[in-house]
């Protein structure tokens, strides 16, 4: 991580954070460097800073979210911004207003940042064309969840000291996972080797073209891995014809102490949450502070989001 500090000149400041795909290595590394400074702030007694004082941040969440929404909420407040969270369930969108009209309406209120979570892929890009402020993607459809990938990267760096040269396995429902996609792009960009492991029905077509190796067998896929990222198996997938049963999924793809042995001895486990204990991960393993980074991910998530808000907000 030999990065010159503040490599982002103000005049070249990127306007939006829409996905890891649109990020340069320098931008990604700058965000991670910046985030490190906020880890300390968040652990200190007085957590308030004045960086975004006078700025308005709107959290526009079209999909229910607990940790991402509260994390952005807290991040904005700790930086001193005025944070408003839109309750979309009661808004005009239920009355047939389109995303674009909502964008124009909000834009007229002069926000500085809109944080958007939307069930449709590419919705934040569309929004960004219609507003004057910064748009930060807090997850769109199955496409990208850039701040999750960045916080995962920061968590790994915090423990392992680096990402370059590591081997990272991403396991579970890759098909429907924006977390998987953003992580594939970011970990590749930062020099890691990425394996994806999933049953065939949950593996997207042509995934190798994203620069990963794909496996349907945990034993082969975990071989030599330093990090094991588990993904949430959405229960609604069980109703369809993706998988025969939870029991069978756990048998072949649930992470247990036995399966973890296929990975490197000092391998660490990550999970973006919320977890389905006993479906994709053994409950004891999930809580084992020696191998599980789950709590750290949540903690560093706030720092990463503070860094993003700071760096992307119009000065």
Residues forming contacts to another protein in the complex (CB under 8 A) are 21, 98-100, 118, 120-123, 125-126, 140-144, 178, 181, 204-207, 209-210
Report, in Å, the least distance between residue 284 CB and another protein: 33
Is 86 or 268 the residue whose CB approaches another protein more closely? 86
Find where tokens 């800073």 sit: 49
Find where tokens 């991910």 sit: 297
Report, in Å, the least distance between residue 77 CB and another protein: 29
Torsional sign, CA 105, 89, 122, 110: positive
CA 71 to chain centre: 11
Distance from C-alpha of 205 to C-alpha of 208, rounded to nearest angstrom = 8
Is 21 or 42 the residue whose CB approaches another protein more closely? 21
Report, in Å, the least distance between residue 207 CB and another protein: 6
Distance from C-alpha of 187 to C-alpha of 193, rounded to nearest angstrom = 7
CA distances from 149 to 42, 204, 258, 261 (A): 20, 19, 27, 25
**Residue 119, both tokens:** 């069930």
Report, in Å, the least distance between residue 274 CB and another protein: 20
Greatest C-alpha distance within the chain? 56
Is 78 or 178 the residue whose CB approaches another protein more closely? 178
Is 189 or 255 the residue whose CB approaches another protein more closely? 189
Report, in Å, the least distance between residue 210 CB and another protein: 7
For residue 6, what are the β-bridge partners?
none
Distance from C-alpha of 226 to C-alpha of 228, rounded to nearest angstrom = 7
Is 86 or 196 the residue whose CB approaches another protein more closely? 196
Is 99 or 190 the residue whose CB approaches another protein more closely? 99
Report, in Å, the least distance between residue 248 CB and another protein: 23
């Amino acid at each position: 991580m030999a990065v010159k500090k503040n490599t982002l000149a103000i005049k070249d400041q990127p306007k939006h954070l829409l996905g890891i795909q649109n990020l340069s290595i320098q931008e990604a590394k700058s965000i991670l460097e910046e985030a490190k400074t906020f880890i300390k702030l968040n652990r200190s007694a007085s957590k308030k800073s004045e960086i975004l004082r006078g700025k308005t941040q709107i959290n526009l969440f079209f999909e229910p979210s607990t940790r991402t929404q509260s994390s952005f909420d807290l991040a904005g407040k700790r930086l001193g911004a005025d944070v408003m969270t839109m309750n979309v369930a009661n808004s005009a969108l239920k009355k047939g207003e389109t995303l674009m009209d909502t964008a124009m309406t909000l834009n007229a209120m002069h926000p500085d940042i809109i944080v958007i979570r939307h069930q449709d892929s590419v919705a934040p890009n569309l929004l960004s064309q219609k507003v004057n402020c910064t748009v930060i993607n807090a997850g769109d459809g199955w496409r990208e969840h850039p701040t999750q990938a960045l916080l995962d990267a920061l968590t790994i760096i915090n423990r392992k000291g680096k990402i370059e040269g590591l081997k990272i396995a991403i396991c579970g429902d890759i098909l429907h996972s924006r977390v998987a996609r953003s992580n594939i792009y970011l970990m590749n960009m930062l020099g890691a080797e990425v394996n994806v492991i999933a049953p065939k029905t949950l593996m997207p077509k042509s995934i190798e073209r994203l620069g990963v190796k794909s496996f349907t067998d945990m034993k082969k896929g975990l071989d030599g891995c330093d990090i094991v990222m588990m993904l949430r198996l959405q229960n609604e997938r069980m109703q369809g014809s993706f998988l025969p049963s939870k029991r069978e999924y756990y048998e072949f793809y649930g992470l247990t102490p036995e399966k973890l042995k296929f990975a490197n001895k000092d391998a660490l486990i990550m999970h973006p949450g919320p977890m389905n204990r006993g479906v994709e991960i053994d409950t004891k393993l999930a809580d084992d502070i020696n191998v599980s980074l789950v709590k750290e991910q949540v903690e560093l998530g706030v720092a990463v989001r503070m860094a993003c808000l700071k760096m992307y907000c119009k000065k």
